[in-house]
């Protein structure tokens, strides 16, 4: 009998607190979630719900967390090794802030390859630029010479350089216009199909999450209040009144 | 409907480095009555510059010019800067996106509302203090006395925006220009802030210009919608008919929008037709 495949991301009893003494604040409180290989999992909630903190803890960007995080079946420690970053990469919300302003696209994309000792740097950069829909003409440009959508394409290309299996996406389109958002979401769907990627997507935008994800966890005040499928979300089949409120507020006249 | 504001052939230009001009707004005409008009468009469409130009707040070297900007019988372009200050805040108010940058960080919110009110109406201190509490209650702040004593950093984003609305509506303006007033807020808070704004606008018979990138919000909240693209008005319709918009740009915007009610494998990518930017602006008088 074949062994069942380990989930791409397993989070159990994750707790993150900031500050100390009376000012101590629990940002993430006993959160557990399972992201299966090849699926898109959405994490939704309002500001301060802890959704981005969960993502940052998984990515190793936060030092003080408790609980268990396993990526592709391997428990991760407080410090992440190189092998970890070949499994998992992150795309941030603000393409204006996440790219080094004085590095060309070429340098941004080649840096992870050099750090990890990859060969065929030239060919890999050319291939990835083609995959994210930017031609070779963009290779020696600086971020300020790119539009918001083009920058987010570069940020996605950077995340893909090490050929990871998993992408953590933190509000990847919320700084973009709706027509550019559509292009980036389509690009993410294409890349997922092409490379069998697993996505963990954080967003406050329920229609975006319903479009991209199979399963969704709703967070509030550091806790997961409920998990439901995208279909249940579209049909407003939510068990918790908070989720119902969020859904009602997200439905405009056009929905 | 008699119009409160009538704008004819408005243009906003910025000088380009090395000569020439960039036209942010290119000859648009529209009017606003005592109704809720939404101006939607993507970044760079000129929607915010349109709002600023009405209040003569386009910063140099930018320049706004129009054949006519008529507000309640007053030619706004011919007013002296001093007279214009009498219009701003008192007769036409503006609410911006982020209350964090619009409120004075070192003055309690109550004092700010009272000060703005006294400046615009010349009323006595006691009356301004009473009006402050009345306005805070009107934006559904539960404990106006306590909140009046708070500083901007002590209030949440949603409460900050309600305080801004209280401040802007205290002098009873005839027209409110709200530029992305809820974009920095969570969806559930967005709803309550808009509901408050809506009630105040209706009760006082004000005109409202709601500038937003959010089609869904504008469709839900306004009476009439103006769609801008590349500095021009490409289409105007009643808000309820936005879903049946006729211009290909508006249709492409709607198609690019993920919707809870309509699952799609892929979102429709927008193919921009250069003709959209070149076509003459649509007249958007009521």
B267/A185 Cβ within 8 A:
yes
For testing the chain B interface, which of A96, A148, A182 should be mutated: the one with the most B CBs within 10 Å? A182
Task: Select from A47, A178, A234 the Cβ nearest to the Cβ of B263.
Answer: A234
Q: Which residue of B has its CA nearest to A47?
A: B186
Convert the pLDDT of each residue in B53-97 to its tens digit: 999 999 999 999 999 999 999 999 999 999 999 999 899 999 988
Percent of chain A with pLDDT over 90: 80
DSSP letters spanning B55-94: TT-PPTT-EEE-SEEEETTEEGGGS-HHHHHHHBTTTEEE
Cβ contacts of A206 on chain B, cutoff 8 Å: 187, 260
Q: What is the pLDDT of residues A126-141, one digit of tens each?
A: 999 999 999 889 999 9
Q: What is the pLDDT of residue B192?
A: 82
Q: Where are the beta strands (DSSP E) in A7-149?
A: 9-18, 25-35, 40-44, 65-71, 74-75, 88-91
Q: Does B239 contact chain A (CB < 8 Å)?
A: yes
ipTM metric: 0.85
The per-residue pLDDT for range B121-156, each reduced to its tens digit, is 889 999 999 999 999 998 888 889 999 999 998 888
First to last CA, chain A: 47
- pLDDT band, very low/low/confident/very high, at A2 (cuts 50, 70, 90): low
Instruction: Examine the pLDDT at A3 and tell me if it is beyond 70.
Output: no
Q: Could you tell me the pLDDT band of residue B1, with boundaries at 50, 70 and 90?
A: low
Residue A75 DSSP label = E
pLDDT, residue B97, reads 80
> A234–B260: do the CB atoms touch at under 8 Å?
yes
Give the full edge-to-edge strand order of the sheet including A198-203.
A88-91, A166-170, A198-203, A40-44, A215-220, A223-229
For residue A199, the distance in angstroms to the closest alpha carbon of chain B comes to 17
Q: Does A218 touch chain B (CB under 8 A)?
A: no
Chain A residue with the nearest C-alpha to that of B193? A249
DSSP state of A210: H
- Per-residue pLDDT of A25-75, as tens digits, reads 899 999 999 999 999 999 999 888 999 999 999 999 998 899 999 999 999
Task: Flag if A178 and B42 touch (Cβ within 8 Å).
Answer: yes
pLDDT at A101 over 70: yes
B103 to chain A nearest CA, in Å? 21
Mean pLDDT of chain B: 91
pLDDT at A98: 87
Residue B267 has a pLDDT of 92
Residues 162..191 of A with a Cβ closer than 8 Å to B: which?
Answer: 177-179, 181-183, 185-186, 189
Q: Does B267 touch chain A (CB under 8 A)?
A: yes
Predicted local distance difference test score (pLDDT) of residue B139: 86
């Amino acid at each position: 009998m074949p062994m069942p495949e380990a989930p791409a991301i397993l989070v159990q009893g994750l707790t993150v607190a900031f500050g100390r003494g009376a000012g101590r604040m629990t940002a993430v409180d006993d959160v557990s979630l399972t992201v299966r290989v090849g699926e898109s999992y959405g994490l939704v909630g309002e500001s301060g719900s802890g959704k981005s903190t969960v993502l940052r803890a998984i990515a190793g960007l936060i030092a003080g967390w408790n609980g268990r995080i396993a990526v592709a079946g391997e428990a991760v420690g407080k410090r992440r090794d190189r092998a970890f970053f070949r499994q998992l990469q992150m795309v941030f919300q603000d393409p204006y802030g996440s790219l080094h302003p004085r590095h060309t696209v070429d340098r941004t994309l080649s840096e992870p390859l050099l750090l990890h000792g990859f060969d065929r740097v030239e060919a890999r950069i050319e291939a990835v630029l083609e995959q994210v829909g930017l031609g070779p003409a963009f290779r020696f440009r600086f971020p300020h010479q790119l539009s918001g959508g083009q920058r987010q394409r570069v940020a996605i290309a950077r995340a893909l350089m090490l050929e990871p299996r998993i992408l953590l996406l933190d509000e990847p389109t919320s700084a973009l216009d709706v027509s550019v958002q559509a292009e980036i979401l389509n690009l993410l769907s294409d890349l997922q199909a092409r490379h069998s990627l697993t996505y963990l997507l954080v967003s406050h935008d329920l229609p975006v999450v319903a479009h991209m994800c199979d399963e969704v966890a709703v967070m509030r005040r550091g806790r997961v209040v409920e998990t439901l499928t995208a279909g249940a979300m579209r049909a407003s089949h939510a068990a918790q009144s908070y989720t119902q409120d969020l859904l009602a507020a997200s439905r405009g006249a056009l929905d | 409907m008699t119009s409160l504001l009538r704008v004819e052939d408005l243009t906003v230009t910025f000088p380009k480095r090395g000569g020439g001009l960039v036209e942010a707004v290119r000859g648009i005409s529209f009017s606003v009555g005592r109704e809720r008009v939404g101006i939607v468009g993507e970044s760079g469409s000129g929607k915010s510059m349109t709002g600023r130009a009405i209040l003569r707040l386009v910063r140099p070297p930018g320049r706004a010019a129009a054949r006519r900007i008529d507000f309640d019988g007053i030619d706004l372009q011919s007013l002296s800067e001093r007279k214009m200050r009498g219009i701003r805040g008192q007769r036409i108010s503006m609410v911006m996106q982020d209350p964090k940058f619009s409120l004075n960080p070192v003055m309690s919110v109550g004092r700010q509302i009272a000060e703005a009110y006294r400046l615009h109406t010349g009323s006595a201190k006691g009356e301004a203090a009473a009006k402050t509490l009345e306005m805070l209650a009107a934006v559904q702040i539960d404990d106006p006395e306590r909140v009046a004593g708070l500083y901007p950093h002590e209030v949440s984003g949603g409460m900050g925006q309600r305080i801004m609305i209280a401040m802007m509506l205290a002098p009873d303006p005839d027209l409110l220009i709200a530029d992305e007033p809820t974009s920095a807020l969570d969806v559930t808070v967005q709803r309550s802030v808009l509901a408050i704004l809506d009630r105040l606008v209706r009760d006082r018979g004000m005109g409202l210009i709601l500038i937003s990138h959010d089609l869904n919000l504008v469709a839900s909240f306004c009476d009439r919608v103006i769609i801008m693209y590349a500095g021009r008005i490409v289409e105007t319709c009643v808000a309820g008919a936005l879903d049946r918009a006729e211009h290909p740009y508006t249709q492409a915007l709607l198609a690019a929008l993920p919707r809870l009610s309509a699952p799609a494998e892929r979102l429709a990518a927008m193919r921009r037709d250069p003709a959209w930017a070149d076509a003459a602006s649509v007249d958007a008088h009521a």
